[in-house]
Every structure is written in C-alpha cells, then in structure tokens.
C-alpha cells in the first residue's frame, strides 16, 4: 500500500471554534469595521447534496500467497495446492461520479492489477465497472458504469487554485469499509511535493483521510470537488492530520484525457535542468539568481531543434515565471504535444525568446553507468580535493566524446571543495571554466586560475549519461 516511506495511500472531525468577529473587535477599538467572511454553522446541507455522488470501489486482485510454517504434512512453501484455482482478495477504496454517462474517478492504486471491479452506489446497488484508463504518474483512474440508477447525482468540479490555506475542506469516502463517512478540516497547504511522482503538487488537508478514502472526493464549502484524496503521511498507517489530494486543476486535465483517449499524453522539452544557486550565478558572471539552468540538451529533441544550448538559463515559459526545475517540468507536461511554446532565456548577457514545438514524453530509457576506471590510473589535481585520471578510450567512445577529451574522477577528498560541490567518484569531467577538458591538467590549471581570481570554478560533468553543472568555490 505504501509507495514511499511513512506515506500511506488511502481522516477527527474538526470542531467549530467560537471567536469574536473582527467587526466587533474593530468597533470596540473605535476602528471602521471590516467585512468578515461568513462560515457555515454546519455542513449538513452540503453533505446531503454531494454524498449521493460518492461511491465505494471494490476491486478483486490476485492474492499473493504467503509461505506457510514448515512441518510434517504441510504443503510446500507457497501454501497452495498444485491444481487449486488462483485466489483473489478484495481491495476497497472510494470514488465519485462525474458524468451522466457513468464515469467514475478514483485512484490508480485502488484498481491496479484488478481482475474485476465493482462500484457500490449510494443507493446500495452494486454494479460492475469498466476500466477506461489510468495514469500512474498522478495515481488517477477513470471507470465507467453502464447501469447507473436513474437520478444518480453527478459531482461538479471546483477551482483548486482559488482555495487558500485555512479554507474548509470536506472529505467523503469509505475508510476501512465504512461507507458514506464524512470528515471535515481545513486546507493546510497547497502544491506539496511529497516525492511520490514527477507531478506532485498535492493539496494538504487535515480532514481525516484513512485507508479506504483513496480515490474519494475532497469538497470545498460550496460542495465542489477541489481534489482527489490520494495519500496520507503517517508513522503508524492511520491518520495523523496530514492528508494529500490531487488538485482539481490537474485532475480535470488527466481525467478528460483518459475519457477521450484512454491514456495521457504529456509534453516534452528535451532538457535536463538544475536549480540556480548563488554560487552558480557567480560562476556564470550573473548578478541575480533567477530561472533554471540547462545542464544538458537531448540531441534531436524539441529543445535541440529550437536551438537551446547547455548553459542557457530559462526564465519564462509563456507568461509563467520559472523559478525551479519543477515549475518548468509541470508546465511543459501539461502542454499537448505539437504545441508551439515561447521560452524566455538568458544566454550570456543577452535575453531572448525562443519558440519550441513541444514533443511527446515517452517512458525514459535507463542509461548505462560509466565503466570503472583502470586501477593503475595516477591521481592528479588533489589541491581541489580530486584524484583524477585520463578518461579511458572505451568510456570516451561510449559517451561519444571527441578526441582525448574528459577526465575521470577516481576519488574525492572528504571535506574538500569538490565534495562540497557534490562531485562523486566515477564522474566524468568534460568542461572546466566553460573550456573543454583534454585531461586532468586542464582542470588543475582552471582551478589555479579560479583561486588566483578568487572566484568559483564552473565544472560540467557527466554522471549516468546525464550532464550536470557544479561550481567549486576556492
């Protein structure tokens, strides 16, 4: 059930606290009264309206056999007779109806590997469901029920971007198999990255979310769906007041594609990015830390075709400012392949706009790691905390490097500038101070020049097939 440590995929009702309205306080202090946002006395009417849209999901999965204790007469480990039919176990989650055609939204992990899926409607009827499509990257799935009861309610999407921390949130689902369970809390934070996937930007709520709530809706105070309850953070596996929901802004994009095409197509730019830091900015001769640094351009990719280069700094995509690599990754992923996007970049001292036709993201191929360097290589460059050797020709051919370029990192001295910059053993250094490296001597010379001028040294290296910039400060 867990996709990462201490986060359980799917929870105490928050009491309404009495307070002195700000308008009364202002009058007592002789100030002009300020408008106060009205809060609901309770959520009875909202829950009555939206509860019929919420369903339970029952997924039959192959049961993984557990080894049995050994002993005379016991079956072999595996615990199943040779000709016995495969066993299944029921997993239960939540979902909600979003169309009169019977489309139901839930989590991918609720129905993953299911051999049979049923939906338990609010009126108690249990009907089979067809899987329309899934998106494991956002943990969303869409089902379809053909035999919807006449008059079944349909949920309405709300605007998750309009929801601010402190706003009321209402979770409805089937935790631990208990159907139609309502919990209430506030939005704790937005755009949470919990490192469960590449497109994390969860809403965080303290409305109770537990096992079985997965895939259920998170409503706002107007009864609109602003999120799909997906995960909790918990040391114990039970709710501790930190739950996460996929925001409706993202969920609607994914769900619409799944309904239309059965799959999700994401945009691709074709670059590797790094966060800009003060040290990198100084090494690049920049006064401000802004944008994200292009550390590698994928050959023949959209960025390469558009003329982007290593060392470019991307400032904007369209009108959106780019402050972190994740900003650009999320923005590009939401663009349809074939879209022409405008990037504002900084190249040297010149700011320019570049048009790029967005490609289509496909499952990445895992590059081979560089081979070990020869044991008899002689270490050089220890003044900056590195033991370097010439790059073996076999590795140079594998990395498609010209001539005799490159140097292999044999060792990194603990506490040295190289270790502080994040350089690792077996990294391949290809540039130092924007100059190509033909061997360890070039790196030593560039380091000496940086020390003499009291400035950081910009290094470009290759690690696992990817290009990376680091800055070493004397």
Query: Can you give the pLDDT at residue 23?
Result: 42
State whether 215 and 146 are in the same domain: yes
Q: Are residues 102 and 214 in the same domain?
A: yes
Q: Is residue 71 part of a domain?
A: no
The answer to whether residues 224 and 281 belong to one domain is no
Q: Which of 311, 330, 360 is the last residue of a domain?
A: 360
Residue 189 shares a structural domain with residue 210:
yes
Average of per-residue pLDDT values in the chain: 78
More confident residue, 368 or 153: 153
388-413 pLDDT, tens digit per residue, is: 777 776 677 677 776 657 888 877 87
Cα separation, 357 vs 381, in Å, equals 43
Q: How far apart are CA 295 and CA 311, in angstroms?
A: 6
State which of 310-319, 430-439, 458-467 shows the largest mean pLDDT.
Answer: 310-319
154 band by pLDDT with thresholds 50, 70 and 90:
very high
Quote the percentage of the chain above a pLDDT of 70: 77
| Active-site residue, selected from the candidate residues 10, 103, 135, 139 | 139
Q: Are residues 100 and 211 in the same domain?
A: yes
| Domain range enclosing 314 | 267-360
Report yes or no on 375 lying in a domain. no
Q: Of the segments 6-20, 75-89, 235-249, 361-375, which one has the largest average pLDDT value?
A: 235-249
Boundary (domain end) residue, out of 264, 297, 316: 264
Q: How confident is the model at residue 6 (pLDDT cuts 50, 70, 90)?
A: very low
The predicted pLDDT at position 364 comes to 42
Structural domain contains residue 176: yes
In this predicted structure, what is the pLDDT of residue 454?
77
The answer to whether residue 174 is catalytic is no
Better pLDDT: 286 or 248: 248
* Largest Cα span, the chain: 88
157 and 238 together in one domain: yes
| Count: domains in the chain | 3
pLDDT value of position 251: 94
Q: Give me the mean pLDDT over the 215-232 stretch.
A: 93
| pLDDT of res. 357 | 94
Q: In the prediction, which pLDDT does 210 show?
A: 87
**Residues 100 and 191 both lie in one domain:** yes
Place of tokens 């615990």: 79
- pLDDT value for 86: 57
Has residue 94 been placed in a domain? yes
Higher pLDDT, 19 or 209: 209
From the list 10, 103, 109, 234, the catalytic residue is 109
In a domain, 27, yes or no: no
Global pTM reads 0.64
139 annotated active-site: yes
462 in the same domain as 332: no
Say if residue 138 is in the same domain as residue 225. yes
* Whether the Cβ atoms of residue 110 and residue 91 lie closer than 8 Å to each other: yes
- Using DSSP bridges, classify how beta strands 320-321 and 313-317 pair: parallel, antiparallel or unpaired: antiparallel
Q: Domain with 346 in it: what CATH number?
A: 2.30.42.10
Among residues 196, 214, 389, 405, which one is catalytic?
214
User: With helix as H, strand as E and coil as C, how does the chain read?
Assistant: CEEECCEEECCCCCCCCCCCCHHHHHHHCCCCCCCCCCCCCCCHHHHHHHHHHEEEEEEEEECCCCCCCCCCCCCCCCCCCCCCCCCEEEEEEEEEECCCCCEEEEEHHHHCCCCEEEEECCCCCEEECEEEEEECCCCEEEEECCCCCCCCCCCCECCHHHCCCCCEEEEEECHHHCCCEEEEEEEEEEEECCCCCCCCCEEEECCCCCCCCCCCEEECCCCCEEEEEEEEECCCCCCCCCEEEEEHHHHHHHHHHHHHHCCCCCEECCEEEEECCHHHHHHCCCCCCCCEEEEEECCCCHHHHHCCCCCCEEEEECCEECCCHHHHHHHHHCCCCCCEEEEEEEECCEEEEEEEECEECCCCCCCCCCCCCCCCCCCCCHHHCEEEEECCHHHHHHCCCCCCCCEEEEEECCCCHHHHCCCCCCCEEEEECCEECCCHHHHHHHHHHHHHHCCCEEEEEEECCEEEEEEECC
Q: Among the three residues 264, 280, 307, which one is the final residue of a domain in this structure? A: 264
**pLDDT at residue 365 tops 50:** no
pLDDT of residue 176: 85
Closest C-alpha to 105, from 173, 166, 165: 173
| 244 shares its domain with 339 | no
Residue 361: name the closest of 336, 328, 326, 324 by CA: 336
Residue with the bigger pLDDT between 139 and 383: it is: 139
- Contacts for 149 with CB less than 8 Å, ≥ 6 apart: 121, 123, 125
**Higher per-residue confidence, 451 vs 157:** 157
Which of 191-205, 245-259, 271-285 comes out lowest in average pLDDT?
191-205
Measured CA to CA, the distance from residue 285 to residue 346 in angstroms comes to 12
In a domain? residue 18: no
Of 433, 417, 431, 418, whose CA–CA distance to 460 is shortest? 431
Taking only the tens place, the pLDDT of each residue in 328-363 is: 988 898 888 999 999 999 998 889 999 999 998 865
109 is a catalytic site residue: yes
37-62 pLDDT per residue, tens:
556 668 899 999 999 999 999 998 87
Same domain, residue pair 314 and 407: no
pLDDT, position 379 = 34
The confidence band for 180, taking pLDDT boundaries of 50, 70 and 90, is: confident
Instruction: Please check whether residue 24 lies inside any domain of the structure.
Output: no
| Reported confidence tier of residue 224, pLDDT bands at 50, 70, 90 | very high
pLDDT (mean) for 65-80? 34
Higher-confidence residue of 4 and 239: namely 239
Residues 272, 252 share a domain: no
Which CATH number covers residue 221?
A: 2.40.10.120
The answer, yes or no, to whether residue 147 has pLDDT greater than 80, is no
Position 471 pLDDT exceeds 50: yes
More confident residue, 467 or 187: 187
Q: Which residue has the higher pLDDT, 185 or 446?
A: 185
Within a domain: 19 = no
């Amino acid at each position: 059930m867990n996709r990462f440590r201490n986060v359980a995929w799917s929870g105490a009702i928050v009491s309404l606290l009495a307070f002195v309205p700000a308008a009364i306080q202002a009058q007592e202090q002789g100030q002009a009264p300020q408008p106060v946002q009205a809060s609901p006395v309770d959520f009875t009417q909202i829950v009555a309206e939206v509860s019929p849209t919420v369903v339970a999901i029952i997924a039959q999965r192959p049961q993984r056999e557990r080894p049995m204790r050994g002993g005379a007469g016991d079956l072999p480990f595996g615990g199943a007779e040779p000709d016995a039919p495969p066993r299944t176990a029921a997993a239960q989650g939540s979902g909600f109806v979003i169309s009169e055609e019977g489309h139901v939204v839930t989590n991918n992990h609720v129905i993953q590997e299911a051999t049979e899926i049923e939906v338990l409607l609010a009126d108690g009827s249990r009907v089979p469901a067809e899987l329309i499509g899934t998106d494991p990257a956002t943990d969303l799935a869409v089902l379809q029920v053909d035999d919807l009861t006449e008059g079944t309610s349909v949920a309405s999407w709300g605007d998750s971007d309009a929801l601010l921390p402190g706003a009321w949130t209402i979770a409805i689902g089937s935790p631990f198999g208990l159907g139609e369970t309502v919990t209430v809390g506030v939005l704790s934070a937005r755009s949470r990255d919990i490192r469960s996937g590449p497109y994390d930007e969860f809403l965080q709520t303290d409305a109770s979310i537990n096992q079985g709530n997965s895939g259920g809706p998170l409503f706002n105070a107007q009864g609109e769906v602003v999120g799909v309850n997906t995960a909790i953070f918990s040391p114990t596996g039970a709710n501790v007041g930190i739950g996460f929901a996929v925001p409706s802004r993202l969920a609607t994009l994914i769900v619409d594609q799944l309904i239309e095409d059965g799959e999700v197509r994401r945009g691709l730019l074709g670059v590797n990015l790094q966060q800009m830091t003060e040290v990198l900015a100084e090494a690049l001769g920049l006064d401000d830390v802004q944008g994200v640094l292009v550390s590698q351009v994928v050959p023949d990719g959209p960025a390469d075709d558009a003329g982007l280069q290593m060392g470019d700094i991307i400032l904007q995509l369209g009108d959106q400012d780019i402050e972190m690599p994740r900003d650009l990754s999320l923005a590009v992923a939401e663009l349809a392949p074939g879209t022409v996007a405008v990037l504002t970049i900084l190249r040297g001292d010149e700011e320019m706009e570049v048009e790029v036709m967005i490609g289509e993201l496909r499952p990445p191929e895992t590059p081979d790691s560089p081979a070990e360097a020869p044991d008899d290589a002689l270490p050089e460059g220890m003044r900056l905390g590195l033991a370097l050797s010439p790059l073996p020709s076999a590795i140079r051919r594998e990395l498609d490097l010209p001539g005799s370029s490159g140097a292999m990192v044999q060792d990194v001295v603990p506490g040295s500038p190289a270790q502080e910059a994040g350089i690792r053993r077996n990294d391949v250094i290809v540039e130092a101070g924007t100059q190509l490296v033909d061997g360890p001597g070039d790196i030593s010379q560039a380091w000496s020049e940086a020390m003499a001028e009291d400035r950081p040294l910009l290094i470009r290296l290759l690690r696992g097939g990817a290009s990376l910039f680091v800055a070493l400060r004397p």
